Structure 1
Amino acid sequence: MNLLPKHELKTISILVIGETGSGKSTLINTLTNYFLNGTLDKLKVAIATKYLKQTENFDNNEKNVIDRTSSQTDSCIKYDFKTNDYIYSFIDSPGLSGTRGIKQEEINMDKIMRAAEQAKSLTAIILVINGTITRLTVNLQNVINRLKGLIPDSLIENIYVLLTHCHPEDSNFEKDSFTIPINEENFYYMNNSAFSTDPKSLNSVKKLYLNQQLKESFRVINDMLTAITSARPKSTDDFEKMIKLRFKIRSTLHQAQVDIMNLQTLQDSICIYEAQLEKANIDKETFKDFTVTKTITKTELVPAPYHSTICNTCNFVCHDHCGLQEISTKGDNSFKNCGALNGPNCKEELEDLKNKYLSSVKDSDEAEKNISSVKVAKLIIDCSLKRMVEDTIDSCVELKKLCSGFNLVNELNITLKQLEMEALKHTSLDARKTADNIIRSITEMVNQLSQGQTTSKQGLMNSNNLMVKNWNQNHNQAQN
């Protein structure tokens, strides 16, 4: 009975990235045969091809095996191969620059970053590129730019490039055009047609040729894995930090967009309250003389040697020494001959006017209170938006420190366009100015970071183009 402890295998995690149709699936199939001792007559197929069905039980999700313009790998898939000392864990990623648009590209980038972060450490990142391309095409340039914005600087020295469909002597790819700094010894070449050839078309000559290709591919893989095995694994914490920073930037700018909409709503409320205040003040002026000062404790009829007219409403004398004969009937037609009938002789306290006056005072006070509350809310939102811009600048600076090739223009372009469209809807000058300030500030920050003018928050915040002074002026105007 063997009581010796089991030998714990060391895991070497390798991320595979490449353009759609560059040969990533061929690499995975070649690796499968390298580790599982496959031969041309008995090929081990991890990923189905146009001519070959899957033979190995890997949990993959390959899509269209016919259309080379469509990214076959729809999600990140792990392929683990065990040796006596190691577990080589290859993480195959969705092809970049596929035909499903920018939105899908962003989804694929997020998947790649999360898969890398979940690996905890990476010993290598293999970039698969079609080596027959003479110069960088638009698609390939797009892929490289995205990779520059995807891979943290801490992992750059762990990047290996596999140029497919070629040998060193016939490769057309110009390494000088590669804008990612990669060591010369980290370039490898492989040409393997075994998985793209119809087995029914094979004759002895083709078999000999494909066998040579397969053996040469095994040699290249062996050399590359030897170099990778001796490399120092790098933590993927920077991927996690980048994911969090990207999420923070997006969520912060989304909240800014919501708050700018709230500014418009608050400004609309101020307009309503100001109209209410104006009406209340007019009513106050109209009804302010609602009373004539008097002090009466009781009503008493005093005998007099002449007739007087008594008010039907307040029981006071409306017309002293009235020339009419005595009339005891209330509202008699004879009162039409009284010269004081329509005169302002009734000294009644006009309750209705008083109530209107008091109501207008209350409405005025309430409108002023509402206007004050809304202005305070606007100031709070303004301060919050200013902090959001500063937080966004902080996050962008940190992102550029982690990944100097990170493309802030691509990252923020859609959000900034949404902010611009939202700003056009605003009828409030304050809301429009606030939105414009945010857009100008972030745009200038992106330009400075992208051009390498500064990498510090302080340098950005001190820039005149960031409109910090204008922002403070807007705060002062809002307070007034």
Structure 2
Amino acid sequence: MTFGERDKNKPHKIILMVGETGSGKTTLINVMINYMLGVQREDKVWFEITDDQSDHRSSVKSQTTIITVYEFYLQESKTHLTIVDAPGYGDTRDIEMDKEIAMRFLRLSESAEGVHDIDAVCLVMNSTQNRLSDRQQYIFDAVQSLFGRDIAENIVLLFTHSDGGHPKNALKAVKEAEIKCAENDKKKPVYFLFNNRQVQTSDEKCDDEEYDEEHEHTLQQSWRRSDRGMTGFFKFLDSVKPKTLKMTQNVLQKQKNLEANISNLQSRVHMMELKQNELKQTQKALEKNKKDVENNKNFEFEVEVPYKEKVDIDPSVAKAAMCCTVCEENCHYPGCWWAKNPLWCEVIKDGHCRVCTNKCHYSKHVKEAKIYVTKIKKEKRTYEELKKKYEDTIGNSESLVKKLKEELQELEAGKIKLVNEAFHCVETLQMIALNADSLIILRNIDFLIEKLKEINEPEKVKTLENIKKRAGEEKLEGLEFIKRYLQKK
């Protein structure tokens, strides 16, 4: 949404506004507009951004993931301002939608006419809070994990509903939550105070003259408080250097690959375990019919055989997935919502998939509302069929078992490779991400730790356990909150 025409001779600042539903973020954006327009209390006028669809957001699911970019090119202001706002971020309707917002932000940063650098990331919260809720912790973690480490000095705290006093409890909550942000000369967080009652609405008017005067005085104080906060905030914008989103793009891409790798890994590990079970059943049958094997005599036995079948996606989990028709694997699920063409999917690089077993060409992939699931069926087999399958065997149980073990070793090698790829992705995030200990990452760590133990990688296990330890009990409790919420969903 663009207001006015761009004057390239004026400085142009770009900010990202983030806050939990009900934090006062929308009101704060309106305060910025009026400040830029030079509106004064005595003018008896107030400008607001309106959205005709805002009252219907609860019935329009896609509305929760729309990122709005407001461009203010106002003649009255010495500075042009672009505000990037994700209205649904932190909305309790669907936590998985937050991932979609992150990807929309990535697309915004990559598009030619999009946002390529950021002057400030504004974390909006109520000044009266004494601790961050699980939802706020999740939101701020998720947002900070969008950026590289170089963005920390551009993050500021905007406290709403302020009475003008020192926001001691709110700052303590921010410190305890380990929210990274800009610091002043005294190594204290940079913050600005705002009140949300600049304008007297019609339903607040009172016939009592004495009350009116007192109420007017209160509103004037609120106005001045927010005006001082906005003056300080724009001075901060003038002093800070913008940060490119190049590293942010890298962070988001790594996160996407990590989630896709782990999801694919879980499916392949499950298949490997079923294959192991099939091997044991075959070994047992060969042992049971040892004399027939020695006499090269045919016999029949039954085993449980894993197989892949395509089924419809649960719409409450995802809208679509990208799958490899050769490997019969889900290469990007869940989370593959943007790319209509497999070539455009985040897991495709140089025309080939980075996730599926054979790293197949994108043309072997399909994007649809179906996924592969592993199922089991009982199947009767004969000794003759086994010999035919392994034509180079000498016709005894040991060589057959050896061949089956070789197949499993190949699966195990693939598992080891994928587990290590996922680990290195986490390791890379630790180096480049501002907040690599976010709940999005922690959700996958337990599974990775378990698999690293299985492949005997104690040092890597220790690294991940240290990440969990560093995250702290409060963040892990927040993770349990997210898990419980998703289970209810």
**TM bracket (short chain):** 0.5 to 0.7
Q: Determine if the alignment matches structure 1 residue 120 to structure 2 residue 138.
A: no
* Aligned residue type for 1:152: G
- The residue number in structure 1 matching 2:29 is 28
Is it true that 1:282 corresponds to 2:283 in the alignment? no
Q: State the secondary structure of the residue aligned to 2:241.
A: coil
Q: Is the 8 A contact 2:109 2:116 kept in 1?
A: yes
Aligned residues: 352
Deviation at 1:414, TM superposition (A): 5.4
Q: Tell me the TM-score normalized by structure 1.
A: 0.60
Contact 2:66–2:88 under 8 Å retained in 1: no
- Structure 1 regions of 5+ residues with no counterpart? 1-5, 49-53, 55-60, 289-357, 421-432, 454-480
**Equivalent residue, structure 1, for 2:464:** 446
- Asked if structure 1 preserves the Cα contact closer than 8 Å seen for 2:196 and 2:222, the reply is yes
Aligned match of 2:128 in 125, 132, 135? 132
2:17 corresponds in structure 1 to 16
Residue of structure 1 equivalent to 2:197? 193
Aligned to 1:378: 408
**1:230 alignment counterpart:** 239
Aligned with 2:46: secondary structure?
Answer: coil
RMSD of aligned alpha carbons: 4.3
Q: Which residue of 2 aligns with 1:156?
A: 152
Report the Cα offset of residue 212 of structure 1: 5.0
Matched AA of 1:175: L
Contact 1:393/1:445 (CA < 8 Å) preserved in 2? no
Shift of 1:190: 0.9
Residue 359 (structure 1) shift: 7.0
8 Å Cα contact 1:127-1:161 kept in structure 2:
yes
Counterpart-to-counterpart distance in 2, 1:365 and 1:221: 76
Report what 1:246 is aligned to.
255
Which sections of structure 2, spanning at least 5 residues, go unmatched?
1-6, 207-211, 299-382, 394-398, 472-489
Whole-Å separation in 1 of the counterparts to 2:386 and 2:69 = 74
Amino acid at match of 1:161: L
Q: Which amino acid aligns with 2:54?
A: E
Deviations 1:266-311 (A, max 9, x none): 33453565467565861662879xxxxxxxxxxxxxxxxxxxxxxx
State the alpha-carbon separation in 2 of the partners of residues 360 and 442 from structure 1: 43
- Residue identity opposite 1:156 in structure 2: A
The yes-or-no answer on 1:202 pairing with 2:205 is yes
Q: Could you tell me which amino acid in structure 2 is paired with residue 448 of structure 1?
A: N
Note the C-alpha offset of 1:215.
5.0
CA distance in 2, matches of 1:78, 1:274: 63
Distance verdict in 2 for CA 1:113–1:213, change over 3 Å: farther
Per the TM alignment, residue 27 of structure 1 is displaced from its structure 2 partner at its CA by 0.8
Contact 2:138 2:438 (8 Å CA) reproduced: no
Q: Offset of 1:156 from its aligned partner?
A: 0.5
1:89 corresponds to: 82
**1:128: Cα distance to partner?**
1.0
Taking the aligned partners of 1:416 and 1:439, their CA distance within structure 2 comes to 14
Q: Which residue of structure 1 aligns with residue 273 of structure 2?
A: 264
Distance of 2:281 and 2:130 partners within structure 1: 67
Which residues of 2 match residues 32-43 of structure 1 at below 5 A?
32-38=33-39, 41-43=44-46
- Quote the offset at 1:210 in angstroms: 3.1
Larger Rg: 1
Mapping for residues 159-198 of structure 1, pairs under 5 Å: 159-169=155-165, 171-177=167-173, 178=175, 179=178, 180-184=180-184, 186-194=190-198, 198=201
Residue aligned with 1:21, SS: coil
Partner of 1:401: 431
Aligned 1:345-356 pairs, distance under 5 A = none
Post-superposition shift, 1:17? 1.0
Per-residue CA deviation, residues 114-161 of structure 1 (Å, 9 max, x unaligned), is 556652111111111111224445554454444544443210001121
Q: Distance in 1 between matches of 2:100 and 2:119?
A: 24
Superposition TM-score, scaled by structure 2 size: 0.59
DSSP 3-state at the match of 2:295: helix
Q: 1:63 to 1:402 in 2, by over 3 A?
A: farther
Q: CA deviation at 1:231?
A: 1.4
In 2, Cα distance between equivalents of 1:19 and 1:287: 72
Please say if residues 69 and 84 of structure 2, whose CA atoms lie closer than 8 Å, have aligned partners that are also in contact. Answer: yes
Q: Return the letter of the residue paired with 1:99.
A: T
The answer to whether the 8 A contact 2:449-2:461 is kept is no
Contact 2:453 2:461 in 1 (8 A): no
- Asked whether the equivalents of residues 12 and 123 of structure 1 are also in contact (C-alpha less than 8 Å), the reply is yes
| Alpha-carbon distance change, 361 to 438 in structure 1, aligned in 2, over 3 angstroms | closer
Cα 1:141–1:418 shift into 2, 3 Å: closer
CA contact (8 A) 2:90 2:135 kept: yes
Residues 24, 160 of structure 2: 8 Å contact kept = yes
Q: How does 1:51-70 map to 2 (within 5 A)?
A: 62-63=54-55
Q: Which digits, 9 at most, give the CA deviation of each residue in 1:156-204, with x for residues without a partner? A: 0011211111144354534244233531473111113146x53243355
**Counterpart code for 1:375:** K
- Cα deviation for residue 261 of structure 1 reads 2.5
> Quick one: structure 1 residues 146 and 438, their matched pair in 2 at CA, closer, same or farther if it must change by over 3 Å?
farther
Q: 1:107 to 1:436 in 2, by over 3 A?
A: farther
> Residue 417 of structure 2 corresponds to which residue in structure 1?
387
Give 3-state SS (helix, strand or coil) of 1:22's partner.
Answer: coil
Matched-pair contact (CA < 8 Å) for 2:141–2:438: no
Seq. identity, % = 18
Q: Secondary structure at the match of 2:47?
A: coil
Contact 1:273-1:367 within 8 A present in 2 as well: no
Deviation at 1:24, TM superposition (A): 0.5
Alpha-carbon offset, residue 95 of structure 1: 5.6
Q: 1:193 to 1:95 in 2, by over 3 A?
A: farther
- Provide the rounded CA distance (Å) in 2 between the counterparts of 1:13 and 1:434: 42
